[in-house]
Amino acid sequence: MDILKQYDGIIGKKYISQQKQFFSSRKDRATNAMQKLLPNIKGKIVLDIGCGSGRDIILYESLGAKECWGIDTSKYMIKEAKKNITHPERAILSNIEKTSFKNKQFDVVAARFSMHYLKNFEKAYKEISRILKPKGVLVMAVDHPIRELASKKKAYKVQEIIHIGLYHGKVDLKFPTHTVDEYFSPTFFKYFYLDGFLEDRDYESSNPKKTADFMTIKAIRR
Ligand SMILES: C[S@@+](CC[C@H](N)C(=O)[O-])C[C@H]1O[C@@H](n2cnc3c(N)ncnc32)[C@H](O)[C@@H]1O
């Protein structure tokens, strides 16, 4: 199955309902971490990569974003996002590796748990830098490579497709593993400089080695 389209099946439906249930009784550590690194987005034009149901678009609009756009590779997720957001035309079926946005269209690009589905980040970094204004900000929360290592059968450097049972094992997702230096590749530093980095200090029960669940990166477009 195509990893970038897995949310089209029952997974998308389950993800949305389990996420709602899960965060009704606990804080959303990843969103909190992203908010620590995000600049003031009042009056800004924002893109949410992997917007899912539109949950973060709603948040960014409530924080005063002038325009908030979302892309997702899942038709199901885009259909759901369009139902939930104020401007349905701003939710678009697209892969971040190649979008139809204009050069320098965005002040801020945010990605909550969407980038690690890619095999590598080279095309995506280039595309994000194209659509960001100079000094524009990229903030992404991604699955922590150290947590992925705990699920791997092969060496750290060997990419594997792993399964993660999200939200108490109720949503079975798969994605390729990554090393830390894939995130901070020469291409990353060609287009961005690193301006912030947070490691999760907590962990979910589905995390077998009790490592950090995720890491959050803030990059500024050169
Ligand atoms: C874990 S969900 C996160 C959804 C939402 N950001 C949230 O935090 O609830 C990951 C989403 O990213 C989308 N996605 C994965 N790879 C993508 C890519 N290359 N470009 C755009 N969306 C992508 C998936 O289809 C899925 O809807």
pLDDT at site 50: 98
Beta strands in 156-205 (DSSP E): 161-165, 171-176, 192-199
Is 72's C-beta closer than 6 angstroms to any atom of ligand 1? yes
CA gap 29, 214 in Å, rounded: 9
pLDDT at site 208: 72
Residue nearest to atom 10 of ligand 1 (CA): 114
> What's the chain's length in residues?
222
CA gap 53, 56 in Å, rounded: 8
The pTM of the whole model exceeds 0.85: yes
Is 117's C-beta closer than 6 angstroms to any atom of ligand 1? yes
For residue 97, the SS3 value is: coil
Ligand 1 mean position to 55 CA, how many Å?
Answer: 12
Domain 3-221 has CATH 3.40.50.300: no
pLDDT at site 14: 97
Ligand 1 mean position to 194 CA, how many Å?
Answer: 23
CA nearest neighbour of 120 among 199, 190, 176 = 176
Is 76's C-beta closer than 6 angstroms to any atom of ligand 1? no
CA gap 47, 71 in Å, rounded: 8
Spell out the residues 6+ positions from residue 215 whose beta carbon is closer than 8 angstroms to its own.
141, 142, 144, 145, 197, 198, 199, 200
Atom of ligand 1 at shortest range from CA of 8? 25
pLDDT at site 209: 78
134: which DSSP letter?
Answer: E
> Per-block average pLDDT, block size 10, for the chain (222 residues)?
92 97 94 98 98 98 98 98 98 98 98 98 98 98 94 96 92 97 98 97 78 95 98
Is 107's C-beta closer than 6 angstroms to any atom of ligand 1? no
